[in-house]
Structure 1
Amino acid sequence: MSRRAILAIGLLTLPLTACLTPARDFHGYVADDAQPRDMKPDEDTRSSVLAQLGSPSTEGLFDDKTWIYMSDVQERIAFLKPKITKRSITAIRFGDDDKVDEVLEYTAADGEVINYAARETPTRGRELGLWEQIFGTVGAVRLPNSDEATPGNPTGRRQ
């Protein structure tokens, strides 16, 4: 092959390499100076944690004694589904005196896959077929003294 052909093929394939470079996305809490794991039990208080870390990603479900800071890094190659390469979840629990009781750290390896049940909750009544849904109102009579909206009375209330 000639040098020109090799150079042309190289120049044409060069833009394709950009598709193979993963794009990184950062989601959630991004620490500036202090890390959530640096909070010290029995030393830091709720106000010092708020001053150092800022607002939590979320709070505990049943009480406000647990603050949770979450972050993850995702990589995407071209049009493929993004993959989570790093996940960090730090839960800070406070005692009754608003001091840090414990600091818990979780990673992506600590997560569990939850299988949802595909069952349906039964409802009362019967199911209408296609033809019953289409022709179910044929022959229905509208009573003149009903509370349904009329052109002169859009609210439907009796006057």
Structure 2
Amino acid sequence: MARLSLVAAGLLAALPLTACLSPARDFHGYIADEVQPIDIKPGDDTRSTVLAQLGSPSTEGLFDTNIWFYYSDIQERFAFYRPKVVERSIIAISFSEDDAVDEVVKYSVTDGQIVSYASRETPTRGRELGFWEQIFGTVGAVRLPNTDETTPGNPTGRR
């Protein structure tokens, strides 16, 4: 009987750990209702029909507002690890000058590239202080008393 209760207690204690075994899925971006962005046909659709079928784009082109982007991705996260992008879909719809759909291009997670970001530190010239120099660098430094601006010759500021 005691052995059975130990096994039951062990299984009960291990039950919360099973939540770490299944990934948590997060959905970000555009979620299509009825019409998929890839179903838009160049030459047949216009800017207004795309807006009516898909809604507002996730973003527009920065320098060319004739390109609309519909972005969505799915991320999985195991326990406390960083999320990993499992699926990514970016649909770029470009319009001609007469607002007709010119081209529809689909990009996936494999079309991305790793971008090497610059560090957020600006290198400066000069002498860098070491650890001990930073700690004991002000020992023995003489601090001058504050002077009153109205009486420059009087360091105490009293009249």
Is this a same-fold pair by TM over 0.5? Answer: yes
1:62 aligns with 2:63: yes
- The 2-side partners of 1:101 and 1:140 are apart by 72
- 1:41-120 to structure 2, matched below 5 A, reads 41-118=42-119
Identity over aligned pairs, percent = 55
- The 2-side partners of 1:24 and 1:35 are apart by 21
- The 2-side partners of 1:104 and 1:90 are apart by 6
The Cα of 1:142 is off from its aligned counterpart by 7.4
Alignment partner, residue 22 of structure 2: 21
Offset from partner CA, 1:6-59 (integer Å, 9 cap, x none)? 222111111110122211111111111111101000000000000000000000
Alignment partner, residue 33 of structure 2: 32
C-alpha distance 14-41 of structure 1, shift in aligned 2 (>3 A): same
- The 2-side partners of 1:120 and 1:21 are apart by 39
Question: Structure 1: where are the runs of 5+ without partners?
Answer: 145-159
Instruction: Using structure 2 for the length normalisation, give the TM-score.
Output: 0.74
Number of paired residues?
139
Instruction: Using structure 1 for the length normalisation, give the TM-score.
Output: 0.74
Question: Structure 2: where are the runs of 5+ without partners?
Answer: 151-159
The Cα of 1:112 is off from its aligned counterpart by 0.7
C-alpha distance 140-36 of structure 1, shift in aligned 2 (>3 A): farther
